[in-house]
Amino acid sequence: MPFKIIWSNRAKKDLAKLEKHVAERIIKKIINLSQKEQILLEKVKGKDFFKYRVGDYRVFIDRYPLRKRLVVLTIMHRKKAYKNI
């Protein structure tokens, strides 16, 4: 059973700011990730959420495995990602 993807308002704004082909690539990768039975994500040090790498961008995700939900929190370029979280 696939995970349900929930996009936060911040993530939607972040996607809207990106070039169309980059945003489409990120959306496609997140959809593919949600189709997997077991999702392996890397935990962000000192935080309660996870990161997912898509090229030069980092997608910060909160996951709820029992409810089968992924909450996309924000999307940032890797240069700024770890300074602003």
Give 44-73 pLDDT, tens digit per residue.
Answer: 998 999 999 999 999 999 999 899 999 999
Angle made by CA atoms 66, 31, 29, in degrees to the nearest 5? 120
Q: What is the pLDDT of residue 70?
A: 95
**Residue ranges of domains in the chain, CATH in brackets:** 4-81 (3.30.2310.20)
pTM listed for this prediction? 0.91
Q: With a cut of 90, say whether residue 83 has pLDDT above it.
A: no
Distance CA 72, CA 62 (A): 7
> Higher pLDDT residue, 57 or 37?
57
Distance CA 46, CA 10 (A): 21
Distance from chain centroid for Cα 3: 13
Cβ(62)–Cβ(49) under 8 Å? yes
- CA nearest neighbour of 26 among 78, 83, 80, 85: 78
- Mean local confidence (pLDDT), 66-81: 93
